[in-house]
Each structure stands twice: as structure tokens, then as C-alpha cells.
């Protein structure tokens, strides 16, 4: 036991007092505030009257499917659905780590997707699908869901890496 304590203390010792740990500005060059949200949680911004039935099921197929390899089913993400008015009035929710906005109106002029990384906070992935018809909406969700999921997972990795960067043992890392 004593040897274990001595080993841990010797590994964490930093003899080079002039060596600096990387600052957060190298990871967060825009110096944005920290993002919020639980691990593997995403905010889905869509009106209640649209988020039902087949569309809700389609989103669930991609974002709430069971994670592979776990002994009991767990969804890829905890999806928190919000109405656009509530989301855009809340600075806190706009700084959430994983944001997915669906703007589905027949008056929209185009069918497209926008992606903003580290938009209002760090780390953050901010996606917005704009669609003016149902077929285009489903097509965009089907086409881009794998990329959105990948970026959301990348955000989780960046968050964890940044959280533990201060505990990096410089002596061992060399």
C-alpha cells in the first residue's frame, strides 16, 4: 500500500516548474463560455404540433436507437424536445452542447442544413434543418443523421478531454 502511494505521488510530481500546461485558449480559440447539458443529451428544437407521429418515430430511429454492445438497452441520446420560442428566449439552452433545430414550414424557400461548430459555447455542435415539404425533411434527416451523431459524439469526447487535460501527467506524457 505504501509503495502504491509513493508511486502515485512520484508520477504526479512535476520537477520542471517552468513548464506550462496548455491553456484553454488553444482548445477554445474563440474564448466561448462552456457548453451545458448532460452527457449524451441533445436539444431538439421543433414545435410540439410537428413533433409527433411519423416524424417523431423517424427521429427516434436515428437518435434514440439502442447503443450496441450494452447489456441493457440505452438510447444513443437523451432527446429533450423544446418549442422554438422557449429555446430562442433562453441563453442557457442556446449554449447547450448538442443542438438540433428543425425548421419545417411550407413558406421556407429552400431545403437545406446548416452546421455551426462552437457557435455560442465550447464545445458545441449546432445543426439546423430547413425544409418546406415533408419528403425533403425526411430526406435531410436520413442523409445527415450519421454526420450529426458523429459530431455530437465528437463534442462529448472534446468535453471529457478538456475536463481531464489539467490532470495530464506531463512527465509520463513525454
CB 132 within 8 A of CB 105: yes
Query: Is the predicted pLDDT of residue 21 greater than 50, yes or no?
Result: no
Looking at residue 20, its pLDDT comes to 32
* DSSP helix, strand, coil percent of the chain (3-state; round to 5): 40, 20, 40
71 pLDDT tier (thresholds 50, 70, 90): confident
Helices (H), 90-133: 91-94
* Other Cβ atoms within 10 Å of 172 Cβ, number: 8
Q: What is the pTM of this model?
A: 0.79
Average pLDDT of the residues of the chain: 84
Convert the pLDDT of each residue in 46-62 to its tens digit.
999 999 999 999 999 99
> Beta strand pairing status for 41-45 and 98-104?
parallel
Looking at residue 7, its pLDDT comes to 36
Distance CA 83, CA 48 (A): 6
Q: Which among 67, 66, 139, 59 has a CA at the least distance from the CA of 100?
A: 59
What is the dihedral angle through the alpha carbons of 39, 40, 45, 51, rounded to the nearest 10 degrees?
Answer: -130
Q: Give the CA distances from residue 154 to residues 12, 39, 157, 160, in Å, rounded to whole numbers and listed in that order.
A: 28, 12, 5, 10
Query: Is the predicted pLDDT of residue 24 greater than 60, yes or no?
Result: no
Amino acid at each position: 500500500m505504501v509503495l502504491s502511494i509513493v508511486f502515485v505521488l512520484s508520477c504526479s510530481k512535476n520537477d520542471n516548474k517552468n513548464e506550462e500546461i496548455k491553456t484553454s485558449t488553444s482548445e477554445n480559440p474563440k474564448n466561448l463560455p462552456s457548453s451545458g447539458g448532460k452527457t449524451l443529451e441533445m436539444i431538439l428544437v421543433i414545435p410540439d404540433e410537428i413533433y409527433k407521429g411519423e416524424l417523431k418515430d423517424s427521429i427516434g430511429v436515428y437518435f434514440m436507437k439502442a447503443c450496441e454492445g450494452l447489456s441493457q438497452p440505452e438510447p444513443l441520446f437523451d432527446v429533450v424536445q423544446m418549442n422554438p420560442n422557449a429555446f430562442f428566449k433562453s441563453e442557457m439552452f442556446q449554449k447547450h452542447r448538442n443542438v438540433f433545430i428543425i425548421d419545417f414550414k411550407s413558406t421556407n424557400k429552400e431545403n437545406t442544413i446548416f452546421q455551426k461548430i462552437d457557435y455560442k459555447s465550447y464545445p458545441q455542435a449546432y445543426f439546423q434543418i430547413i425544409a418546406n415539404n415533408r419528403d425533403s425533411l425526411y430526406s435531410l434527416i436520413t442523409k445527415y443523421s450519421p454526420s450529426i451523431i458523429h459530431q455530437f459524439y465528437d463534442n462529448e469526447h472534446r468535453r471529457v478531454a478538456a475536463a481531464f487535460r489539467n490532470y495530464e501527467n506531463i512527465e509520463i506524457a513525454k
